Amino acid sequence: MDTARQSHDPVVRMLDAYRDAVFAKDVDAFVRLYDADVHVFDMWGDWSLQGVAAWRRMAEGWFGSLGDERVVVTFDDVGSSVEHDLACGHATVTYSAQGTDGAVLRSLSNRMTVVLRRRDGEWKVVHEHTSAPIEHETLKARLQRA
């Protein structure tokens, strides 16, 4: 994706802000990316989360569980489409937990799809879906990209 398009692409801007908020463990910055009525199909725990208050509780629990660790988020294979006041995008996302010394402690990857809507000039996520391939024989999620 060319740099000019990246700076104007609401999906890329959202992913960059997501990455920064997660690294900073900044719940407020993280939640500001989402519409009040967001519907999330998250991979962890609940089948789905409805509304920004539920998503905030998830983020508070996630960031609070990290202690001194930080999570470095990277996105690959980013694609997006923008039409008028709707944008959708997808990416492979990798979460790498870092210790205080910067060493990677563990890492996992999954797939993310987001739908953003522009209201009053602001782009907000109205739907997010994360997933991972399931191994047929074991029915276990594959959290490392092959």
Average pLDDT for 68-75: 97
- Among 71, 28, 19, 55, residue whose Cα is nearest residue 127: 55
Whether 124 is covered by a domain: the verdict is yes
Query: What's the pLDDT band for 122 if we cut at 50, 70, 90?
Result: very high
Domain annotation covers residue 112: yes
CA angle 13, 132, 112 (to 5 degrees): 15
**Better pLDDT: 140 or 20:** 20
In a domain, 137, yes or no: no
Write down the pLDDT at residue 7.
66
User: Domain holding 60: CATH number?
Assistant: 3.10.450.50
Share of the chain above pLDDT 70, in %: 95
Q: Which two tokens stand for residue 6?
A: 């990246």
If one compares 56 and 145, the residue with the highest pLDDT of the two is 56
3-state secondary structure labels for all residues of the chain: CCHHHHHHCHHHHHHHHHHHHHHHCCHHHHHCCEEEEEEEECCCCCCCEECHHHHHHHHHHHHHCCCCCEEEEEEEEEEEEEECCEEEEEEEEEEEEECCCCCEEEEEEEEEEEEEEEECCEEEEEEEEEECCECCCCCCECCCCC
- pLDDT range class, residue 129, cuts 50, 70, 90: very high
The answer as to whether 115 is a domain residue is yes
Under the banding of pLDDT at 50, 70 and 90, the label for residue 78 is very high
How far is Cα 100 from Cα 73, in angstroms, rounded to an integer?
16
The total of structural domains in the chain comes to 1
Structure confidence at residue 141 (pLDDT): 75
Q: Is position 146 within any domain?
A: no
pLDDT at 5: 46
- Does residue 142 lie within any of the structural domains? no
Residues 113-119 have a mean pLDDT of 97
Among residues 56, 4, 7, the alpha carbon closest in space to that of 32 is found at 56
Q: Examine residue 144 and state whether it is found in any structural domain, yes or no.
A: no
44 has a pLDDT exceeding 80: no
Question: Is 119 within a domain?
Answer: yes
Rama region for 54: left / alpha / beta (φ>0; ψ in -120 to 50; rest): alpha
Domain membership of residue 95 as a residue range: 3-131
Q: Are the C-beta atoms of residues 75 and 15 closer than 8 Å to each other?
A: yes
